[in-house]
Structures are given as C-alpha cells and as structure tokens.
Structure 1
Amino acid sequence: MKALVWIALVSAIWYPPRLTITPEAGSVVSDVVEVRVTSNEPLKRVEFLLDGNPVGSDTTTPYTWTWDTLSVAEGEHVLTLRVTDWNDRVASTEVRYRVDNGLSRGGAFYLEQTRQHLSAGQWDEALKAARRAVHLLSNDGQAHHLLAQAWLGTAQWEKAVTSAEQAVRLLPSPETYGTLAQAYLRVAFAQMVDPEKRFSSLRTAIESALRGGELRLAQAKTPIEKARALARLGRLEEAATAYLQAGGTAENFLAAARCYLLAGRWQDAERMCNLAEGRSADKVVVGAYRALARSQRGKISDARAMLERLEETEATGTLLALAKANVSLREMKASETLRTLLPLHEQGQTSDAMEVLLAAAFAETREFPRAEDHFREALLRNPLSWQALAQKGFETLAVGSITTASRYFDLAARIRPNDAWVLCGQSLCAGDKRRAVELAQKAVKQAPTDPWTLVVLSYAQSRAGQIDEALRTIERARNMDRENIDIASPPDARRAGQIARILGRRVMLPLE
C-alpha cells in the first residue's frame, strides 16, 4: 500500500519543461531581434510578455517572437515566457536583456552613416542606421527618404512605399517623389497574379514621377535645365522649343532634333539636323538622326543606306547601334536588333531607350518573359517612359488582350495625351465605336503626314459603319505611302494594329 501511495505522489509531481532561449539571458540586444525558444517536450503554446505586457505568442516549435528593440527605451527589460503544455499546465520564466541601440550618438550621426552605407551598397547596414535616424528624427523628411532607399535596397517594397510616402509628406521634392515612384514600380512588378494591384501601383508610380518632374521644372534655373525637365515629363515639343531658346548652338539644335524624333515630328527633326550641320555639328550624330527621320517617313532603304555609309567611315558607338536597332525593328528584323544591342547591354552600356528596344525585339520573337524583363527595366530607369508603356500596349494588343492593352495605353496617355501613336492604340482598344473614331481622327490631326494613322482611322470608321468614309481614308493612306500601305480596303483589327505597331513605332533614344 505504501508503495502505491509513493508511486501516485511521484506521478502527480510536474516538472516544468526545460527551455533553451536565444539570445541568452543577460545579452545586449539592438535593432530587430528574433527571440527563439525550444523545449525538451512538446508545448501547446508559448506567450511572450515584455515588461509585463503581452507582445506575442507562438504555437509551433521553435517558438519565436520578433522584437524591434527601437520600440522600447534603452536599458534593461524583462521578457517573461509563459509556457502551456498539452495538459494545460502553465509555467513561467523570466529573461533579462539590455537594449543598446547607440541612440546617444544622435540623429545627424545616423543620417551620415546611412548615406555612406547606401553609397557603398551596404543595404543591411544602411537599414540599421536609417531606422535609428528615423527613430531620433521622426519629423525629418530626409531621414524617411533614406529609410525608403534602404528598404528598396533590401527588396522590402511595401515598407519602401510607406517610408517614401512619409518622406514626400514631410519633404516634397523631385528626389523624394522619384523614390516613391521607384517603390510603387517595385510593388507593381511584384504582382504576378493581381492585375488590379499591378495597374494601381503603376498609376501611382507615374503620378509620383509626374509630380516630381513638375517640381524639377519649377526649380529649373536655366533654359537647358528647363528643356531637360520638359523632356523628362514627355512634353517633347516644348522641350525642343526651350533648347532653341537656349541659343543657336549645334548641341541645342541636335537636342531639339532628338526631341522631335521622339515625338514623331520627323520634318522638324530634319530641319534641326540641317541647322546643326551649319554649326559644324558631329557628323555621326547628324547622320544617325537623319537616318531615323527617314525611317519614320517610311524610307527604310534610304535610312539603312545612310547608316551603312556612316559605318564605312568606321563610326561606332551606342548612338549608331541604337539607330540601327530602330531601323531593324521597322523592317521587322527583330533578331538583327538583338544582335546589335545585346553585346552592348551585356557590357552595361544600356539606357531606358535600349531597354524598350530590347523589349520590343523580344516581343516580336515571342520571347515574352524576356520582353517583360526589359519592359520592367525601362520603367525602373525612367518611370515616365511613355514609349515603353505604349509599346507594351501594342504587344499586348497583338496577342488579343484588349482590356490589358487599353490599360497600358491609358497609362502612356497620362504622360503624352496627344501623341498620335498613343491615340491610335487607344482607338484600337476603344469599346465605344464613336469614341474609337474620335481618337483616330485626333491622331490623324496630330500626325497628318503619317499614313499609318489613316489606316487606324479607316478601321475605326468601318467598324462604326462609316464604309464610304473608311474607303476614302484607306485610299488616302495608300496614296501617301504605296510602298508600305498595300491594302485597298479597310483593314481588320489585327492588320490595323500591326501596321500601327510597326510603322508608327516611335524612335527610341535617350533623352539626353
């Protein structure tokens, strides 16, 4: 009997589980710490209490709680671990830690530390310093801006958005809006299965970049600064005028020519080339620009011959390669475009213009994942690359995704609402037939010497039941360019889209 009582007493005694805790008791902690608990027996739950206040719990081993030590004061803190076993028995243990984030050094110290780490690409260290700077200088826009950049460097896009929005609120500037645009672009491109969030984030990125661009324009102190700011905003015709107002130099004439080429104004581009040549401008640049203007007129053979003559003079460089790639795409020689540009790209000689050309070429060869990669890089380099957005719209339209294509054209129109190429894209996607005709008519008005706009108008008119008008319109297009417009009746949607995508494709060149 006594033995049975003794056995019962022993079985009734409960020995709390043995816990292993990291960091060890007495440790000095800083930044973000993961408190990790393991046990010699299964537990139902572990609760964490910091200085007596519940802060978290976990039900799976290892039992963890993430502690942001910047949320508490410097000095000693007590962490209580309350464990519950599967018989609902409860035990507690206390661990003491000392928090030391070095906050006595002050916010200015950590701002400078953050700048240095960002400059060196030391993203984790930059993040630690930036978090301290924001903790000490919570109303300092620069601190939040640097923190946003650190979040971007560590690929934490949503947190970058939050910090960049705070930076813009406290310190609106071209730089803070630029970082906010980058953050939203990263969020957009992370959306593989949520198209609504993708396009919402793209819209916000563009709006942010536009606000930053407007601030940069307002801060411009010289005509050249004004011209560059206008060009970045997509206001290319105004930029060309500003370059001319800055003085009649060869450089300014060529800058104006470049703006006109990007805008599809090939006549004005040729005129600027003539003026630049009269100022002894670089013959390779003048020749490349003239070749691009000829290609926009549909004179592809002339353009290629001009570029070949430049190569015979042993002229080389990125500009000549871009010119050749532009002409090759108009000839539907996407593989040739890739052969021209990929070696330069692999050497790091890239730009948003080259990324758009590569995206277009890979789309034409139906390598869509690679096209998407270069589309992403183009926008990350220039969030206001309306050419990239319009090109993406035509690519998407070519595979039959009209709704998605329409969204890309609408984004491009936010930057260049009156561009003929963008307007034609919107017309091709418009559900309302009358609206489609109106958009195409507006495109023709913007580019009256470009026959491909008439092709799109002819399609819109035939779709709206305006058959006689459509026949007259397509005849006008043929009379303007019989070499490239070889159809005698209004085209269907696929043919109209193809002609607009190829013949209307804008020249892709760096803005500066």
Structure 2
Amino acid sequence: MHSSSRSLARWLSAALFGLAAMPAAADPTIRFELPDGTTVSDVATIVARAVSPDDAGIDKVEFMVDGQLAATDTSTPYSFDWDTLSTTEGEHVISATAFDAKGRTATARITLRVDNELAKGADFHAQGALAALKGGDPDRAAKLARRALKIAPDNLLAARALAGIHRQRRELAQAIAVLEKASIPESDADARAELAALYIAHAAEAPSTGAFLELAGKAVEQHRSVLAVRQAAVAPSGDPAADALRLGDARFAARNWVGALAAYQKCGLGDDAPIHCANRVLLAYIQNGRIRDALSFVGTLTRRRGADEVTRALHALVLLNDHQPAKARDMVQDGIASDVLPSLIVASYADLALRDRRRAREEADRAARIAPDLPEVLLLRAFVQADPIDAQKLVLRALEKDPLFAEAYAVRDFQMMGGQGSRRFAIAGQFLEFALKIDPKSGYALMGTALALMAQRRPHEAEPLLAQLMVQEPNAPDALVAMATCQSLLGRTLRINDLLARALKIDPERWNDALVPEPVDLIRRVYLYRHPHFVSPAALYPRPVAAQR
C-alpha cells in the first residue's frame, strides 16, 4: 500500500512538471508593409500583414490614425485607403491591431510623414492639373486638382480641371455640378464656355425632349454671357482697324449681323482697305441677306485687283445660296487646289448638291485638317458621314463649340424626322422652334419647321414660314415645291402648277415634280438637297493647327 502511494505521487509530479514545461499560447503577429518614416501623399493605401499562431484565424484588423479609428478590415490583405488630404501635413502615427478568433490581439505602429506640397499654393497645383489633363494623364490631374481644392475650395482652375476629369469619364452631371458650385465670375469667359459645352454634352444623353431643351437653354444662356464678356473686352488698342475687326467678329459670333457689318465697314470699305477686312464686309453683307450689295462689292474688289481666293469663295457662297451649285463649284477650283478653307467648305456643299458625295467627303476631310474644331467644319462633316450615329455626334460637337448655331439644331431635327416613331415630327418641331428663337431668319430652320408642321397636317402654320423663306430665297426650288405641297394640304389648287413650274425651271434635274409630293417624302429630299452654307470670320483666314495648339 505504501509502495502504491509512492508510485501515484511520482506520476502526479511528472504530470504537473510536464504541464509547467509546455510553452504559453502565442499571440497573433502583425506588421506594416510600409517602412517606418515613409513619406506619403494624396490617397495612400496602408497594408498590414496579420497572422494567427494557430488555426484560429484573424477576425479583423483595426486601423487608427493618431489614436482615432480610421477603418476596419476583415479580409486579407488587411488595408485601408488613407486620404492624406483629410489631415494635416507632417508626421502621423498609424497603428494596426489584429484580433483573432480566440480574442488574442497584436498591435503594430509606424510613423508616416504626409507631404502633399500644399505650401506651393492652390494655383500651382491647379495649373499642373490642367496641364496633366491636357497631356492625357487624368489620374495625376485628379490628384493635383484635389490638392488645389484642399488649399482653396473656391479655386476655379482646380474646379475646371476636376470637371474635365469627370467629363473624360462621361460623368457629365458631376462635371456640371463642380462648375456650377464654383461660382464662376461673370468675367471668366473660358470657364463659362466649358460649362456651356457640358450642358450640350449632357443634353445629348437627356431622357426627354424637355430635358434636352432645358439643358440646351442653359448652354445658350452661358454662351451669350461668354459673348457679352468678349464684346465688352474689345477696348481701344490704338489700332482702329484691328479694333473694328475684333468687335465685328464678336458681334458676328453673337449672330448680330447688322452690328457686325457696321463694325467691319469701319476698316474694310476704303480703296486701301486690307483684303482680310474687306472680305469680312462681304461676309456680313451675305449674312444680312444684302445680296446685291455683296455682288456689287465683289465687283469693286475685283476691279481694284484686291480680290483673293477668299473673295472668290464668298462670291461662290452667294451662288450656292442662290441654288447654283455648279457655278459655285467652278468658281472655287483654284482655292480648292490651294487648300483655302472657305473654298473647300463651299466646294463640299456644292458637290453634295451635285450628288458627288465622294468628292464632297474628300473636301470636308481636307477642311477638317485645317480647322478640325470649327463649328461649320464639324457640321459639314456631319453631312458627308455614311454612319448616322457619327453624323449626330458631329452635330453635337458643333453645338458644344457654339450653342447658338441654329442650323446645327435644325440639322439634328431633320435627322430625327428621317427616322422612326409616331411622334418624331412633333418632337422635331419643338427643337426647330428652339432654333428659330435663336435665329428667326435661319432658312434651314424655317424649312425644317414648315415640313414638320405639314407632316402633322398643320399647313396653316407652315404657310407663313414658307412665305418668309421664299422672300429670303426667291430662287429656292425646294421652297417652291414645299409651298405647292402646303397649298395642296390647304385645298388650294390655283397656285400649285405655277409653283411646280418655277421649281422645274430653276432645277430641272432635282425638282421636276409633276405631282405634289407628300410631306414625308419631301423631308428626305430636302435634307439631301438643302444644306446650311455657313461660313464664319474664323474660317476666312484660319491659323494653322499647330498655332492653335
């Protein structure tokens, strides 16, 4: 019995010694990937590697910045994105605590230095953001724009850069919101022009006609503010001719044709007037509908040997507007060979009217190489595109450049009327009404509106529009045939034969109707025949593309 007691005692002692000799359970381990003392900026991703000593696993890792909980992550790799612009420049303590399933913890700490170069100022970063955006680096542009806005939340350059980034990402609503919030000064024409372009781009994605027109209306309002600022900025420079040109160009852009002519006449009527001034006078005569004065002025320029290829292109524009495409095309032949931009524009439209689309496209492509962003060149390219989607995109780009380009709205509506849908004519009519508010004398918009009304069997409303168009363009065969259709819809047969006969005499190849066409058929024919032959002062003597950049 005594022997058994001693054996039991030895066994218990050995067992207790074994338990005492077993190591204590280890805690988890955790470490940061970034070395202590690292300098960080913008949004820095902080990663911690955590490991449990057994199969318990890590439940979560909590990250703290200067003792304040910043993030919790429950999956590997354990990390959080630290927006360093939300804190101050200088040193900050970052800690990470790992928790495993058995309640054990481990903590690691490092000190990181934040340096976003904020001391360089908001304009430094804003200009860098714009440069990065222009250079095709939107990620860097976004970083620099955020730095600028951290320093000065109302910095307009940074807001423009950030809006540009949103636009590249097709986040148009966000881009508009950024610029609207920026409180653009009335005097900042460039920022307002960017906002106007954004309104048009967003309008293209609008879910309804009303939404489109609301956004387009905002674009028009902003663009008019831009033009007002630019007109007001035309201060005397000591060179009266240059001042007259700048004022005339500003008025022309605002579609103030009368005011533009008055300004141009101050430098372009004398015998010694520079030809670039004289040609602006000629262009303004054409745009004001003063065709006799335009032709007389061409004769004056020719007699005094002051005419150049631009003069001849504008003379050809008169012929083209008078529905004489073959004569217009012949007149600009030398200008085409010399890559004179207005010659190429007139030639392309003339070739479209003459049904030579291949040559028209070649001339439009050459024009685009000279002035790729000019609204009238973008609109011309829309007419020569085989793909209707590409054509619509070009029309919208033209409107982004000039939201007052009434003809571009009308072109879009002709495209719409040529599509499908029972309400397409009513919808197009709303757009055309918008275009006529911008320019009540736009022949293209007048014709489109009249056709839309006739397609809806509303000839009484179409008749006065066609009558106005026939006064503006007495030799327009498509207008004569459209009026014949209108008279037929009104039940008036007396004038129909005379109208059709006059159209036949002017253009026997394309307007030789023996019977009055239906409005829907007429829409397609007019779209292929009638084009908005618009030339702006910027097209007369454009700067080389390299200089524009």
Normalised by the shorter chain, which TM-score bucket? 0.7 to 0.9
Distance change in 2, residues 1:282/1:38 (3 Å) = farther
Matched, 1:412 2:426: no
Contact 1:409–1:425 under 8 Å retained in 2: yes
Q: What residue is the counterpart of 2:39 in the other structure?
A: 28
Matched, 1:207 2:221: yes
Q: What residue is the counterpart of 2:359 in the other structure?
A: 336
How many residue pairs were aligned? 496
Contact 2:33–2:49 under 8 Å retained in 1: no
Give a deviation string over 1:94-135, Cα, whole Å, max 9, x none.
Answer: 665332212223335445555665676665545444433333
Pairing partner for 1:240 from 254, 258, 261: 261
Q: Distance in 1 between matches of 2:70 and 2:173?
A: 23
Give a deviation string over 1:46-74, Cα, whole Å, max 9, x none.
Answer: 77665566666777766765443223222
Report the residue type matching 1:334 in the other structure. R
Q: Distance in 1 between matches of 2:516 and 2:105?
A: 82
Q: Distance in 2 between matches of 1:435 and 1:30?
A: 66
Distance change in 2, residues 1:410/1:73 (3 Å) = farther
Q: Distance in 2 between matches of 1:479 and 1:132?
A: 69
Q: Distance in 2 between matches of 1:378 and 1:205?
A: 13
Report the residue type matching 1:293 in the other structure. V
Q: What residue is the counterpart of 1:506 in the other structure?
A: 532
Pairing partner for 1:106 from 110, 115, 121: 121
Report the residue type matching 1:33 in the other structure. A
Within a 5 Å distance, the mapping from 1:101-180 to structure 2 comes to: 101-110=116-125, 113=128, 124-145=139-160, 147-149=162-164, 157-170=172-185, 172-180=187-195
Matched, 1:323 2:334: no
Within a 5 Å distance, the mapping from 1:34-49 to structure 2 comes to: 34-35=45-46
Distance change in 2, residues 1:192/1:177 (3 Å) = closer
Matched, 1:427 2:415: no
Q: Distance in 1 between matches of 2:208 and 2:99?
A: 41
**Larger deviation: 154-163 or 386-395?**
154-163
Q: Distance in 2 between matches of 1:466 and 1:47?
A: 81
Q: Distance in 1 between matches of 2:71 and 2:304?
A: 73
| Ranges in structure 2 where 5+ consecutive residues have no aligned partner | 1-11, 236-242, 539-549
TM normalised by structure 2 equals 0.73
Q: What residue is the counterpart of 1:368 in the other structure?
A: 388
Pairing partner for 2:307 from 282, 287, 290: 282
Contact 1:440–1:456 under 8 Å retained in 2: no
Q: What residue is the counterpart of 1:230 in the other structure?
A: 251
Report the residue type matching 1:370 in the other structure. D
How much is the aligned-residue C-alpha RMSD, in angstroms? 4.5
Distance change in 2, residues 1:73/1:254 (3 Å) = same
Q: What residue is the counterpart of 2:238 in the other structure?
A: none
Q: What displacement does 1:293 show?
A: 1.7
Within a 5 Å distance, the mapping from 1:74-85 to structure 2 comes to: 74-77=89-92
TM normalised by structure 1 equals 0.77
Contact 1:160–1:183 under 8 Å retained in 2: yes
Contact 1:26–1:96 under 8 Å retained in 2: yes
Q: Distance in 2 between matches of 1:490 and 1:61?
A: 77
Matched, 1:392 2:417: no
Pairing partner for 1:183 from 198, 203, 210: 198
Q: What displacement does 1:494 show?
A: 2.2
Q: Distance in 1 between matches of 2:514 and 2:32?
A: 81
Q: Distance in 2 between matches of 1:475 and 1:112?
A: 66
Matched, 1:305 2:330: yes
Q: What displacement does 1:460 show?
A: 4.8
Contact 1:398–1:498 under 8 Å retained in 2: yes
Report the residue type matching 1:340 in the other structure. E
**Larger deviation: 337-346 or 81-90?**
81-90
Q: Distance in 1 between matches of 2:409 and 2:173?
A: 23
Q: Distance in 2 between matches of 1:175 and 1:500?
A: 37
Contact 2:220–2:404 under 8 Å retained in 1: yes
Report the residue type matching 2:535 in the other structure. L
Partner secondary structure for residue 33 of structure 1: strand
Q: Distance in 1 between matches of 2:104 and 2:485?
A: 78
Q: Quick check: which has more Rg, 1 or 2?
A: 2
Q: Distance in 1 between matches of 2:420 and 2:289?
A: 26
Partner secondary structure for residue 280 of structure 1: coil
Partner secondary structure for residue 112 of structure 2: strand
Partner secondary structure for residue 531 of structure 2: coil
Q: Distance in 1 between matches of 2:171 and 2:395?
A: 21
Q: Distance in 1 between matches of 2:113 and 2:442?
A: 62
Q: Distance in 1 between matches of 2:170 and 2:287?
A: 33
Q: What displacement does 1:478 show?
A: 4.0
Q: Distance in 2 between matches of 1:159 and 1:444?
A: 46
Report the residue type matching 1:509 in the other structure. V
| Ranges in structure 1 where 5+ consecutive residues have no aligned partner | none
Pairing partner for 2:233 from 203, 215, 219: 219
Contact 1:409–1:426 under 8 Å retained in 2: yes
Q: Distance in 2 between matches of 1:350 and 1:127?
A: 26
Partner secondary structure for residue 113 of structure 2: strand
Partner secondary structure for residue 468 of structure 1: coil
Pairing partner for 1:444 from 450, 467, 470: 467
Give a deviation string over 1:6-53, Cα, whole Å, max 9, x none.
Answer: 99xx9xx8966x777666665322223345677779988777665566
Report the residue type matching 1:100 in the other structure. D
**Larger deviation: 279-288 or 81-90?**
81-90
Q: Distance in 2 between matches of 1:437 and 1:87?
A: 87
Report the residue type matching 2:341 in the other structure. T
